[in-house]
């Protein structure tokens, strides 16, 4: 067993136009100052990071590493959540997802997809330059608009959708394999990979590619009413990244899982700051430690009630308090007698 690394923080929700959130050096000082030890970097935000430069310049990457280290921070992973989403977009969502791409690619879905694929390949090379082990992303979705089986899905539609998704991702996964980095898909509603079954479908479609792995975020499983602890038992070998995010689900006589098109604050399922939701993080950290998870515990702040700065300050302490130092000996070693072959045979009657 190993001790999970942390606390880390995903910077995406904190980047802004005002100081200290508008430059990499300043946001690092802020994060380190409130107790974080690691940062997950959103690669699409030019205020903080230039992905293309990182893919081609070791000097730039060394400067980023040095700036983070000066604030007492390590880089946990790079993130391409927005670019990963654009690897596969159903036409029904074209206009809604155009905002994730540069303006010159809006209303140009084929060019947008090509750009997204290249962004992922840049991320593979950049991750290698940072000597990272894991990368955080989304899968994108061709089938999400059919997640509820009405109208009935045509025979073969799901298989075709996953085959196409795999076709787009295999070259990316191969690029990450060459870089020695795992792609960790955040299983998330709105993605074709949103639970264990869909991850298994994708894994089969990519021929069990060794770089196809999971970013474990229990909050999305609470909102789907999936057993987030049993999930670890089943998929722990593929869990290579971890978002620590709380959530709650409180159904009523008026609304349930689908949310009734309501805003986040009124939905039965909603994300909360750490410690304010329903998730049993004590059990999660215990299971991940038991199974030897060696990565980072990274806070992702998404709360419809609490201020993000308060959520971050509380979150650093929350994660630190949940980190487990694994035992180096069994609790009953004191009562052991060592190995005695003769005695063992007597006890067994052989």
pLDDT in tens, 97-145: 999 999 999 999 999 999 999 999 999 999 999 999 999 999 999 999 9
Indicate if the pLDDT at residue 337 is higher than 80: no
- Give one DSSP letter per residue of 193-261, joined into a string: --SHHHHHHHHHHTTS-TTEEEEE-HHHHHHHT--HHHHHHHHGGGEEEEEE-EEEE---SS--TTGGG
pLDDT at 338: 78
CA angle, 179 as apex, 166 and 139 as ends, to 5°? 30
Asked if 50 and 338 touch (Cβ cutoff 8 Å), the reply is no
pLDDT in tens, 48-99: 999 999 999 999 999 999 999 999 999 999 999 999 999 999 999 999 999 9
Asked if 78 and 68 touch (Cβ cutoff 8 Å), the reply is no
Burial of 46 (0-12, 13-18, 19+ CB in 10 A): exposed
Please give the Cα distance from 317 to 336 (Å, whole number): 38
Please give the Cα distance from 259 to 280 (Å, whole number): 23
pLDDT in tens, 23-36: 999 999 999 999 99
Asked if 180 and 129 touch (Cβ cutoff 8 Å), the reply is no
In the chain, domain spans: 5-348
pLDDT at 336: 76
Asked if 18 and 308 touch (Cβ cutoff 8 Å), the reply is no
- Give one DSSP letter per residue of 16-79, joined into a string: -SSTTSSSHHHHHHHHHHTT--EEEEETT-TTT--HHHHHH-HHHHHHHHHHHHHTT-EEEEEE
For 66-102, b/e burial (b = at least 16 CB within 10 A) is ebbeebebbbbbbbbbbbbbbbbbbeebeeebbebbe
pLDDT in tens, 191-245: 999 999 999 999 999 999 999 999 999 999 999 999 999 999 999 999 999 999 9
For 291-304, b/e burial (b = at least 16 CB within 10 A) is eebebbbbbbbbbe
- Cis preceding-peptide flag for 43 (omega within 30 of 0): no
pTM of the model: 0.96
Token readout for 308 is 């993000």
Asked if 78 and 135 touch (Cβ cutoff 8 Å), the reply is yes
Q: What is the DSSP letter of 141?
A: B
Please give the Cα distance from 309 to 140 (Å, whole number): 30
Phi and psi (nearest 5°) for 50?
Answer: -115, 105
Query: What CATH superfamily classification does 5-348 receive?
Result: Divalent-metal-dependent TIM barrel enzymes (3.20.20.150)
Could you identify the residue written with the tokens 């700065």? 309
User: Which helix or strand (DSSP H or E) is residue 74 part of?
Assistant: strand 74-80
């Amino acid at each position: 067993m190993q001790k999970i690394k942390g606390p880390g923080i995903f910077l995406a929700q904190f980047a802004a136009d005002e100081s200290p959130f508008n430059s990499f050096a300043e946001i690092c000082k802020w994060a380190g100052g409130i107790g974080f030890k690691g940062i997950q970097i959103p690669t699409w935000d030019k205020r903080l990071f230039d992905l293309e430069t990182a893919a081609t310049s070791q000097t730039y990457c060394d400067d980023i590493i040095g700036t983070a280290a000066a604030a007492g921070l390590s880089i946990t992973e790079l993130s391409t959540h927005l670019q990963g989403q654009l690897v596969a977009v159903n036409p029904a969502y074209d206009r809604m997802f155009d905002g994730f791409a540069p303006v010159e690619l809006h209303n140009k879905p084929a060019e947008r997809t090509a750009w997204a694929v290249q962004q992922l390949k840049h991320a593979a090379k950049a991750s290698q330059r940072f000597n990272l082990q894991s990368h955080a992303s989304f899968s994108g979705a061709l089938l999400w608009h059919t997640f509820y089986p009405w109208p009935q899905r045509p025979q073969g539609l799901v298989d075709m959708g996953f085959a196409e998704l795999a076709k787009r991702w295999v070259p990316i996964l191969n690029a990450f394999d060459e870089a020695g980095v795992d792609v960790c898909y955040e299983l998330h509603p709105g993605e074709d990979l949103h639970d264990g079954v869909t991850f298994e479908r994708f894994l089969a479609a990519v021929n069990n590619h060794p770089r196809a792995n999971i970013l474990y975020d229990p909050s999305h499983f609470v909102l789907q009413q999936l057993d987030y602890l049993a999930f670890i038992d089943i998929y722990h070998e593929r869990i290579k990244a971890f978002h620590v995010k709380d959530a709650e689900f409180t159904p009523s006589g008026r609304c349930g899982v689908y949310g009734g098109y309501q805003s986040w604050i009124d939905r039965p399922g909603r994300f909360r700051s750490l410690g304010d939701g329903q998730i049993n993080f004590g059990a999660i950290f215990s299971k991940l430690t038991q199974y030897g998870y060696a990565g980072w515990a990274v806070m992702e702040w998404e709360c419809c009630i609490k201020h993000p700065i308060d959520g971050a300050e509380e979150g650093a302490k929350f994660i630190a308090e949940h980190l487990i130092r694994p035992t180096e000996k069994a609790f009953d070693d004191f009562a052991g007698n060592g190995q005695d072959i003769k005695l063992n045979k007597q006890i067994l009657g052989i």
